[in-house]
């Protein structure tokens, strides 16, 4: 698959607006993502194949560090390396921006995401109890 990575724009978000929750993920909705794209401290990227958006991911910068706010692959394209490509590009972008670390919270049940983060050198720093309603989160960090 020929995949291009580029900066995510509001028109990209509008492009996936109607199938965002059904075909990507229901963790965040259109309005929250729109706020993110309008926030100067946020940086979002998309993965595109044959003009179809097949994944997106973003960070929010706080001084010299950033949190990974979102990383999602369109359901039908999962387990084909797109999440890895997005994460690799978020790391490259963060290094280019001279950030010192990348952090995130991930549901303890989200074994795929945990696997992905560990593959790219993220380490577990601790847990947040009941972070997602009744489910715990692992806090993970990677020094850049
Ligand atoms: C997490 C997510 C982005 C991964 O995207 P993806 O395109 O499938 O990622 P990749 O194909 O690059 O990698 C998936 C890896 O997980 C592994 N994997 C798949 N299912 C797994 C499981 N149940 N347990 C552990 N590892 C698993 C795959 O083998 C692959 O590992 P590899 O690269 O070492 O071969 C995708 O599952 C997703 O969009 N999930 C919903 C949103 C989400 O939960 N985001 C994370 C929020 S913190």
Gap between the Cα atoms of 73 and 86, Å rounded: 9
Angle (CA) 96-56-59 rounded to 5° is 45
Question: For 22-134, where are the E strands, in sequence order?
Answer: 42-49, 52-62, 65-73, 101-107, 123-132
What does the alpha-carbon distance between residue 56 and residue 49 come to, in Å, rounded to a whole number? 12
Of 28, 49, 83, 86, which is best to mutate to test ligand 1, by the most ligand atoms within 8 angstroms of its C-beta? 83
Q: Which of 23, 65, 88, 105 is catalytic?
A: 105
Instruction: Give the class (CATH, top level) of 4-143.
Output: alpha beta
Q: DSSP class of residue 66? A: E
Cβ proximity of 139 and 123 under 8 Å = no
* 98 CA distance to ligand 1 middle (Å): 27
pLDDT digits (tens, 9 = 90+) for 75-130: 999 999 999 999 999 999 999 999 999 999 999 999 999 999 999 999 999 998 88
Q: In the prediction, which pLDDT does 1 show?
A: 84
- Domain positions in the chain: 4-143
Contact 116, 73 (CB under 8 A): no
CB 15 within 8 A of CB 9: no
pLDDT in tens, 5-56: 999 999 999 999 999 999 999 888 999 999 999 999 999 999 999 999 999 9
* pLDDT category of residue 62 using cuts at 50, 70 and 90: very high
pTM of the model: 0.97
């Amino acid at each position: 698959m020929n995949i291009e990575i580029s900066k995510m724009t509001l028109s990209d978000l509008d492009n996936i607006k109607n199938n965002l929750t059904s075909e990507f993920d229901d963790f965040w909705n259109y309005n929250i993502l729109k706020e993110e794209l309008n926030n100067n401290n946020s940086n979002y990227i998309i993965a595109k194949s044959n003009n179809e958006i097949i994944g997106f991911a973003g960070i929010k910068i706080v001084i010299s560090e950033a949190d990974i706010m979102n990383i999602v692959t369109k359901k039908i394209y999962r387990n084909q390396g797109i999440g890895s490509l997005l994460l690799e590009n978020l790391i490259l972008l963060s290094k280019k921006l001279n950030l010192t670390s990348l952090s995130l919270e991930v549901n303890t049940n989200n074994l795929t995401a945990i696997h992905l983060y560990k593959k790219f050198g993220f380490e577990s720093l601790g847990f947040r109890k009941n972070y997602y309603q009744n489910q715990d989160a692992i806090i993970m960090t990677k020094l850049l």
